Amino acid sequence: MERPDSAVPRPAGDPPGRIVLTSSDISRALRRIAHEIVEHNKGVGDLVVLGIPTRGETLARRIVTLLREIEGADVPVGTLDTTMYRDDLRSQPTRAVGATTIPEGGVDGRTVVLVDDVLYSGRTVRAALDALGDLGRPQAVRLAVLVDRGHRELPIRADHVGKNLPTARSERVSVRLEDPDGVEEVRISAAEGTA
């Protein structure tokens, strides 16, 4: 018999905070996002799904699997590293550059769905749009995120959201996925140094 998510033992060194999405919540949210993408796009014919590393890449692969279940067709999936397009490289210059993998056929004239785990200030998405612009000219770009926590610094809005999670700026939202983290949950906690 499968135990409920709350009964799953936590690994040593488990982070503080409260769980706001369990494994089953994440699965339901991704399934809803996949259905919204199909409905909005009227199918999957011209779609390309690009995940923003690290967890956006994992979420993108899961969404593509769900799209295949729903529509019975394969959707090209890749990754879009934003490191060299970020506006905070001067303050955090030690970022490792990740891989960008664009599916065969590229992005020109296609509808690209960017996937990320948490939408916060909007700066990562802005960097992704800049990176995408160097790769081609999509017909349209849409954004799918697991969590939208608010506090935007740029005029960016997600088209598909798993969970709107109002937060304080002093809070931290942590998404952990089975791959790569070994546990599946979203937690909210006080940022380090706050009570």
Domain that holds residue 61: 24-87+99-168
Which tens digits make up the pLDDT trace of 94-153? 667 788 999 999 999 999 999 999 999 999 999 999 999 999 999 999 999 999 999 999
Q: Give a yes or no: residue 43 inside a domain.
A: yes
Q: Take residue 17 and report the two structure tokens written for it.
A: 């905070």
What pLDDT score was predicted for residue 103?
Answer: 95
Instruction: Out of 33-47, 53-67, 74-88, pick the least confident.
Output: 74-88
Q: Does pLDDT of 51 surpass 50?
A: yes
Split into its structural domains, the chain has a count of 1
Q: Take residue 26 and report the two structure tokens written for it.
A: 């994440």
Q: Give a yes or no: residue 186 inside a domain.
A: no
Q: Give a yes or no: residue 34 inside a domain.
A: yes
Helix (H, G, I), strand (E, B) or coil at 128: helix
- Here the CATH number for the domain that contains residue 28 is 3.40.50.2020
Which stretches of the chain are assigned E, i.e. beta strand?
Answer: 18-21, 47-51, 77-79, 111-119, 140-148, 160-164, 171-176, 185-190
Pairing of strands 140-148, 160-164: parallel
What pLDDT score was predicted for residue 15?
Answer: 65
What pLDDT score was predicted for residue 91?
Answer: 66
Residue 15: alpha-carbon gap to chain centroid: 21
Please name which of 85, 76, 92 lies closest in space to residue 44, comparing C-alpha atoms.
76
What pLDDT score was predicted for residue 16?
Answer: 78
Which tens digits make up the pLDDT trace of 9-22? 445 556 678 999 99
Judge contact between 175 and 53, C-beta under 8 A: no
Instruction: Out of 50-54, 67-71, 84-88, 95-99, pick the least confident.
Output: 95-99
Q: Give a yes or no: residue 181 inside a domain.
A: no
